Structure 1
Amino acid sequence: MNSEFTIAVHSLVYLASRPDRMATSDAIARNVNTHPSRIRKVMSLLRKQGYIATKEGIGGGYLLECLPENATLADIYRATSIGSIKPNWCSGDKQGNCSIASQMAAVMDEIFSDTEKKMLQHLEEMTVRDVLERVRIAHR
């Protein structure tokens, strides 16, 4: 899994904690503890999916555009990271000289695909609002 998903969830939860207030990429980056350029990259993906709105220039930044209770973590994963659970690897024997090696890549692809489907089912049950509530409870 790549870090874009975690950055996206963190950023959306941060914006949800500040309803009706803009946040700059610098402010979000400080909160997420990453570089503002990474924030801008992830926020671009989220904007294309309608999760956030942007305002450029002085006083600009990012504003939550969706209802936190409607934004599932599965949707955010699909927007930022679908397919990333499968590692980049090269395994197998394409010539078919070994019965194990010639089938390993296909079998592992199926395993990773099944794993991602099950993970998405789990993430479908959680929203940005749920994560914000968990953070608030943990902070008490």
Structure 2
Amino acid sequence: MITLNSDFTIAVHSLVYLAYLPDHMASSDSIAVNVCTNPARIRKIMSCLRKNGLVKTKEGIGGGYILDCNPQETTLADIYRTVSHGTLKPNWCTGDPEQNCVVSSNTQVVMDEIFTEAELYFEKYLEKITISSVLEKIKLCP
């Protein structure tokens, strides 16, 4: 089974949380409590999101993070590309490409192509899901 790194899940959770609190700043501590991780991890991920224009920050008392994107237009693909692009492809430990074995010398190249294509399909699927649509599904949960 292949798993994404948790940065993507944390980023989505954080942005949905900020969409739930429109026009309100949220500190890394409050986001960390909501996401169930530590504030340092939140700050690292939010820094990446800030660099890519998805959140704004304000330092000091009353500071924190606020959405800097339209939750109706920002897709999970946007978030994935920002924090996790390339993580679907595992690191391969294959034989020496100089070996005379066709399997050993070509497996990594072929599997890299397969995972690159899979990532494109995955991103295409994520393009259909917005931050707002995730929040709406959450609100419908019992």
How high is the TM-score relative to the length of structure 1? 0.96
CA contact (8 A) 1:92 1:103 kept: no
Distance across 2 between alignment mates of 1:13 and 1:68: 8
Instruction: Please tell me whether the aligned partners of residues 92 and 101 of structure 1 are also in contact (alpha carbons under 8 angstroms).
Output: yes
- Secondary structure of the equivalent of 2:66? strand
Percent identity (aligned): 58
Q: How big is the alpha-carbon RMSD for the aligned residues of Structure 1 and Structure 2?
A: 0.8
* Equivalent pairs, count: 139
1:121 match: 124
Bigger shift: residues 95-104 or 9-18: 95-104
Q: Give TM-score scaled by structure 2 length.
A: 0.95
- Give yes or no for the alignment of 1:33 onto 2:36: yes
- Which blocks of at least 5 consecutive residues in structure 2 are unaligned? none
Equivalent in the alignment of 1:134:
137
Match of 2:8 in 1: 5
1:75-132 per-residue CA deviation (whole Å, 9 max, x = no partner) reads 1100001100111221133113211111000011011101100000000001000100
2:85 counterpart (82, 85, 88): 82
Amino acid paired to 1:105:
Q
Following the alignment from structure 1 to structure 2, what is the Cα–Cα distance between the partners of residues 81 and 106? 21
Counterpart in 2 of 1:22? 25
